[in-house]
């Protein structure tokens, strides 16, 4: 088979959830599974997280809640970050979703379309992305709290930088808006959990740390990507490899051509900076990354295995993200539909 293989380790996923649950102290630990569980497959990932103990799940769009409800069955709560948008009412009702309404307009739309249907509240504590600002919240607060919102939440802009003064600014703003209320409160995603107890409140919302990404430095790798070797050739000094002749052999070089490319989320810009692993040997990518193929210098490997590792034991999503000037989140969500997928453990 010449298909790149994406293996998702559901045991590592569950362990990451459990360790983030410990790090979150007494707070209840939820699970963010937006964007098809960060590209890894919500149908398999969500039930594994539920078995680990997660009872509150989060998606970005109401549409994403349909597949998630199918995967989880009745019981777990499913929150929608984008709230209640026009046209969402039937989806929210049928899949039993809880929109995190982020404006007075959304609140009005929600109670008119689905009277008595649960909702949560999203507040802006300074990120200026989604949520009610303090003045808007002050106007709505009494009415909203009288209807027992399932969650009152906000989101940190700089939680991956523990010393950033914005963390404290947002913590203070969130407390100012919510101290004394009865509804459960939530401020922290992965980064916020690691900022300490003051940031935990009642419910945490980890995403990327579950999937093996920073800022959870102790995360176990969850996504493993292995690329089949299609051909191996010897290239003489002075010969070139790949489109545009961007790489020239400076020594007698063994070049393996593997199945995988930018259509598989191995971004073309990684080319001059990225490596694949042949067993324990780190092998540089040579020449341009094509849509479906990559050339790799395997000269220093004692033998050329059937597959080379792009993600996994030797290389994290954040290492390869660096090669593209991006973040682990984008590497995961860009992997795409072409992989043969295998789920282990769980
Ligand atoms: C994506 C997201 C999360 C999860 O963030 P991670 O950094 O992946 O842990 C939590 N809350 C909100 C509002 C989000 O958009």
Ligand 1 and 155: CB distance under 6 A: yes
Alpha helices (H) along 82-122: 89-94, 104-113
pLDDT number for residue 1: 63
Q: Are residues 175 and 276 in the same domain?
A: no
Residue 289 lies in a domain: yes
Ligand 1 and 205: CB distance under 6 A: yes
Q: Are residues 136 and 259 in the same domain?
A: no
Q: How many domains does the chain have?
A: 2
Tell me the pairing of strands 31-32 and 56-59: parallel
- Stated pTM of the model: 0.97
Residue 288 lies in a domain: yes
Between the CA of 58 and the centroid of ligand 1 the distance, in Å, is: 9
Tokens of 61: 């769009």
pLDDT number for residue 272: 86
128: domain range? 10-211
Cis, peptide link before residue 123, omega less than 30° from 0? no
Q: For residue 281, give the CATH number of its domain.
A: 2.40.37.10
Considering 170, 185, 211, which residue would you say is the last residue of a domain? 211
Task: Check: CB of residue 113 under 8 Å from CB of residue 119.
Answer: no
Q: Are residues 101 and 249 in the same domain?
A: no
Tokens of 187: 């401020």
Residue 207 lies in a domain: yes
CA–CA dist 30, 184 (Å, integer):
13
Whole-number Cα distances in Å, 75 to 6, 50, 95: 30, 10, 11
Considering 211, 242, 272, which residue would you say is the last residue of a domain? 211
Choose which residue among 17, 23, 81 to substitute to test ligand 1 binding: the one with the highest number of ligand atoms within 8 A of its C-beta: 81
Q: Which atom of ligand 1 is nearest to the CA of 190?
A: 9
Q: Which atom of ligand 1 is nearest to the CA of 38?
A: 8
- Closest to 265 (Cα-Cα) out of 329, 343, 190, 342: 329
Q: For residue 174, give the CATH number of its domain.
A: 3.20.20.10
Which residue positions in the chain have pLDDT lower than 50? none
Whole-number Cα distances in Å, 119 to 3, 109, 130, 164, 251: 43, 12, 16, 32, 64
CA 204 to chain centre: 15
Choose which residue among 64, 204, 207 to substitute to test ligand 1 binding: the one with the highest number of ligand atoms within 8 A of its C-beta: 207
Choose which residue among 194, 205, 213 to substitute to test ligand 1 binding: the one with the highest number of ligand atoms within 8 A of its C-beta: 205
Considering 188, 211, 234, which residue would you say is the last residue of a domain? 211
Catalytic residues, by residue number, are: 34, 243
Residue 295 lies in a domain: yes
Q: Are residues 130 and 243 in the same domain?
A: no
Residue 328 lies in a domain: yes
Q: Are residues 281 and 334 in the same domain?
A: yes
Taking CA 48 as the corner, what is the angle to CA 47 and CA 49, rounded to the nearest 5 degrees?
90
Residue 216 lies in a domain: no
Q: Are residues 267 and 149 in the same domain?
A: no
Residue 1 lies in a domain: no
Residue 5 lies in a domain: no
Q: Are residues 206 and 87 in the same domain?
A: yes
Q: Are residues 52 and 164 in the same domain?
A: yes
pLDDT number for residue 7: 98
Q: Which atom of ligand 1 is nearest to the CA of 34?
A: 1
CA–CA dist 4, 6 (Å, integer):
7
Q: Which atom of ligand 1 is nearest to the CA of 211?
A: 8
Q: Are residues 247 and 127 in the same domain?
A: no
Q: Please, what's the b/e burial string for 278-294 (b: 16 or more CB within 10 A of its CB; e: otherwise)?
A: beebebbbbbbbbebbb
- Closest to 275 (Cα-Cα) out of 265, 288, 267, 286: 286
Which residue, judged by its Cα, is nearest atom 13 of ligand 1?
155
pLDDT number for residue 44: 98
Q: Are residues 232 and 198 in the same domain?
A: no
Ligand 1 and 219: CB distance under 6 A: no
Whole-number Cα distances in Å, 346 to 11, 15, 341: 5, 10, 15
Q: Are residues 159 and 104 in the same domain?
A: yes
Ligand 1 and 131: CB distance under 6 A: no
Q: Are residues 180 and 254 in the same domain?
A: no
């Amino acid at each position: 088979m010449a298909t790149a293989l994406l293996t998702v380790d559901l045991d590592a996923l569950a362990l990451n959830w459990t360790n983030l649950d410990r790090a979150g102290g007494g707070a209840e630990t939820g699970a963010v599974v937006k964007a098809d569980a960060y590209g890894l497959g919500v149908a398999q990932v969500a039930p594994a997280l539920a078995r680990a103990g997660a009872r509150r799940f989060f998606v970005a769009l109401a549409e994403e809640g349909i597949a998630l409800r199918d995967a989880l069955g009745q019981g777990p709560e499913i929150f929608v970050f984008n709230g209640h948008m026009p046209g969402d009412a039937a989806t929210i009702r049928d899949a039993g979703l809880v929109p995190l309404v982020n404006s007075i307009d959304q609140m009005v739309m929600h109670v008119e379309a689905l009277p008595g249907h649960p909702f949560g509240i999203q507040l802006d504590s300074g990120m200026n992305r989604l949520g009610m600002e303090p003045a808007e919240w002050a106007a709505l607060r009494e009415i909203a709290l009288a209807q027992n919102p399932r969650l009152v939440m906000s989101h940190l802009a700089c939680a991956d930088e523990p010393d950033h003064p914005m963390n404290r600014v947002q913590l203070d703003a969130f407390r100012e808006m919510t101290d004394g209320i009865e509804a459960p409160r939530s401020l922290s995603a992965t980064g916020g959990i690691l900022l300490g107890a003051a940031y935990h409140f009642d419910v945490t919302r980890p995403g990327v740390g579950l999937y093996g990404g920073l800022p959870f430095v102790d995360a176990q790798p969850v996504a493993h990507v292995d690329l089949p070797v299609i051909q191996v050739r010897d290239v003489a000094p002075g010969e070139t490899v790949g489109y545009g002749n961007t790489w020239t052999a400076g020594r007698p070089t063994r070049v393996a051509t593997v199945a995988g490319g930018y259509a598989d989320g191995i971004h073309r810009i990684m080319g001059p900076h990225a490596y694949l692993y042949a067993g324990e040997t780190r092998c540089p990518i040579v020449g341009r990354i094509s849509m479906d193929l990559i050339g790799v210098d395997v000269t220093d490997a004692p033998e050329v295995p059937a597959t080379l590792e792009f993600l996994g034991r030797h290389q994290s999503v954040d290492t390869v993200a660096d090669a593209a000037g991006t973040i682990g989140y984008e590497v995961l969500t860009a992997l795409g539909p072409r992989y043969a997928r295998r789920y282990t453990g769980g």
